[in-house]
Amino acid sequence: MSSSTFCELDLILVRHGTTQWNRERRYVGHADPGLLPDAEGELGALGQRLRGMCFAKVYSSDLRRCTETLRLAAPQLAAEAALDERLRELDFGAWDGETYESLKDMQLYRSWLDNPRCVTPPGGESLEHFEDRLNGFLNDLVKDVLQGEESDTAVIPAVLAVTHGGVIRQLAARTVPGLDFWSIQLPPAGMAGLRLRYEDGHITGSWLSSIIST
């Protein structure tokens, strides 16, 4: 893609359905719990929305709560999904499975809450690494989907990614001016979208508010 051209695509983001750990308000990062037994009921509205959409590419975090969400909500898309570890939630390390109540008296945890860029959960992932792997995913999208061709046409390709709440927040904060990590609150089984523009080596985005809820 030359510096004189730009490409656009719509990144449709789905947060996985509810797990028991979500219900118990536990940190769930690279741990791999499945969805609740009644997941199909929760995912019904999401499935209806996805059945009416066409995607140039489908991606999913490789963790079970995401692959189960895609299989139950849109089995027609699950077979073509590319599983990508970069779409995993932040790795909370030793804090995976813990709650705010169980950690609140730990000084390292409180320091992480105050300044997550300077503190890493024990055995977990730094915020810098989390950002880098998601930046890598965004940069590869233009090659995987648009293959270096201009997309300033009437048809903007759409890409689906089934992933995690923290990933969706970070992708929005990374691309949309004026948004920070806590600006986006998407419930389990919720759907949102980013219109991404790749130009001169830079990626910017806008929030597609018309599809935020299912």
Catalytic residues: 16, 89
Q: How far apart are CA 185 and CA 191, in angstroms?
A: 11
Secondary structure (H, E, C), 85-148: HHHCCCCCHHHCCCEHHHHCCCHHHHHHHHCCCCCCCCCCCCHHHHHHHHHHHHHHHHHHHHCC
Give the residue among 56, 61, 14 at the shortest CA–CA distance from 151. 56
Q: How far apart are CA 95 and CA 2, in angstroms?
A: 44
Q: Sheet harboring 202-207: ordered strands across?
A: 82-83, 57-60, 158-163, 6-15, 191-199, 202-207
CB burial of residue 5 (10 Å; 0-12, 13-18, 19+): middle
Q: How far apart are CA 63 and CA 34, in angstroms?
A: 9
